[in-house]
Structure 1
Amino acid sequence: MQSFFITGTDTEVGKTYFTARLMHTLAQNEVKVAGYKPVAAGCEVINDEPVNEDALAIYEACNVPVTLQQVNPVALIPPIAPHIAANKAGITLELQQLIDGYWRLASFQPDVLLMEGAGGWQLPLGKNLWMPDVVKQLQLPVIMVVGMRLGCLNHALLTAQAIRQTGLPLHGWVANQLSQQPMPYYAENLATLREALPEPLLAELPFEADYTKPLTALRNILG
């Protein structure tokens, strides 16, 4: 089983968009794929159950018989930082709980299991618990999604540095355009990142609202 952790340089940079597109591409290539978003904040209550839009997109991209609750075991209603939302709900997030959720999905024996974070890399989950603690425990290689906008150079370089400092492998990075109109001097910013980051550029994603559209760089992404 191949498995990767998908992180971003910030919130709203396209982690779910990339994750769902990659999953749909794998499914269309008859690869068994599952996704895991252990913690999500910002949910709509549907049939008395909290449903997060990003988690739902990942669930709908799975082609193994998992449930939404297995894909997203911790669904918090307020659209705020997860550790604050959990505290307000009287919930304590535990490392083992999130690890167990990953292995529960792995038991379905997908060929590829993608785990997506929330927000950026250094996400607090509770007192003395951070999302990188979960990723390190699972020893997952990391794919970093860079939202191509003003400030992305600093965010990408600092995020990559933080990932390396945990001892985890940074498998590569993805450049994601966030609007129909590319950022000013997009090519120059991309060239700066390619020169500054030793890890490979896995995919360059122009703005596209349809996350079911297949990725052409699939072989490059998985390695």
Structure 2
Amino acid sequence: MSNQYIICGIGTDCGKSVVSVLLYDYLKKRKKLEPILVKPVQTGAALDTDFYQACQINRQNIFNFYTMTSETSIHTASHLAEKTIDVDQMVHETVLLQTKNRPLLLEMAGGLMSPLNETTLMIDFVEALQLPVIVVVDNYLGAINHALLTTEALKNRGIPIAGLINNTSKKENAYDQTSLEIIASYNGLSVIGRVPYLTKIEGQLTEPDKKSELVKEWQLNVSQAN
């Protein structure tokens, strides 16, 4: 189905949630439809689903399958919460959402090789869905290596990649604008857009004009059919 994407990062805290909110707004304006935003699994005290709502996304358009409050990795948090993550059920729930004929965004947690349980990694869930992946690349020393490992893992599994989005999560890294071009050139991938360093993230992502300004130069092939 078109206009349905998975948002993966090259690691933890690289800006996936910020990019997800901006992609939501981007698709909403171009499709004239309310997208569905899914955080399949989340952990910690500061929840991404709360962040989405703080950024003016209606709760009825937000879905989550598992939430654990421990500030740790998914498989550890689920163990502490005495929950077992059923990946087949997550795939089933996602497929049901795909049938709603609306734009769909799924934000993953951690990196692709993060374990969901004792036998399954995040990339296994991504592979089962076979939706195009948007890779979020932060600016930091080592980002090129992490990004190439991430895109190589996706390609090895035959998972389509829609393109790259650069995010600058820390002010001290804002000067480095060459990493994305190296990654894109090496892999033959397209650059969808960039997110500059944001001083007050939630404040800037609650203003429609500001969000529109941030994505005005993004290039994502939005289909006219869902």
The normalised TM-score by structure 1 is: 0.84
2:111, 2:122 within 8 Å by CA — same for their partners in 1? no
Match of 2:167, SS? strand
Give the aligned partner of residue 220 of structure 2: 220
Contact 1:77 1:85 in 2 (8 A): yes
Please give the per-residue CA displacement for 1:124-146, whole angstroms capped at 9, x wherever unaligned. 10021111121211111111000
Report if the CA contact (8 A) 1:33-1:64 is conserved. no
- Which of the numbers 135, 148, 154 marks the counterpart of 1:157? 148
In the alignment, what sits opposite 2:49? 55
Match of 2:110, SS state, is coil
What corresponds to 1:179 in structure 2? 170
Q: Which runs of 4+ in 1 moved over 4 A?
A: 59-64
2:131 paired with 1:140 = yes
Structure 1: distance between partners of 2:43 and 2:52: 15
Partner of residue 206, structure 1: 196
Query: Partners in 1 of 2:222 and 2:13 — Cα distance?
Result: 23
Aligned partner of 1:100 in structure 2 is: 92
* Cα drift, residue 196 of structure 1: 1.8
Task: Quote the offset at 1:74 in angstroms.
Answer: 0.4
Corresponding letter in the other structure for 1:174: I
- Can you give the 5+ residue segments of structure 2 that lack an aligned partner in the other structure? none
How far the C-alpha of 1:15 sits from its partner, in A, is 0.4
Map of 2:184 onto structure 1: 194
2:115 and 2:149 map into 1 onto residues whose CA distance is: 17
Quick one: distance in 2 between partners of 1:91 and 1:56? 21
The one of 115, 132, 137 equivalent to 1:124 is: 115
CA-based RMSD of the aligned residues comes to 2.2
Q: How does 1:32-47 map to 2 (within 5 A)?
A: 32-43=34-45
- For residue 22 of structure 1, what is the amino acid of its counterpart? L
Cα distance in structure 1, aligned partners of 2:124 and 2:180: 30
Between structures 1 and 2, the one with greater strand share: 1
Gaps of 5+ in 1: 45-51
CA positional deviation for 1:193: 2.5
Displacement, 1:36? 0.8
TM-score, normalised to structure 2's length? 0.83
Q: Find the aligned partners of 1:135 and 1:188 in 2 and give their Cα distance.
A: 28
Inter-CA distance 132–15: structure 2 relative to 1 (3 Å threshold): same
Task: Report the identity percentage.
Answer: 27
Taking the TM superposition and a 5 Å limit, the aligned residue runs for 1:72-83 are 72-83=64-75
How far did 1:218 drift? Answer: 4.5
For this pair of structures, how many residues does the alignment match? 210
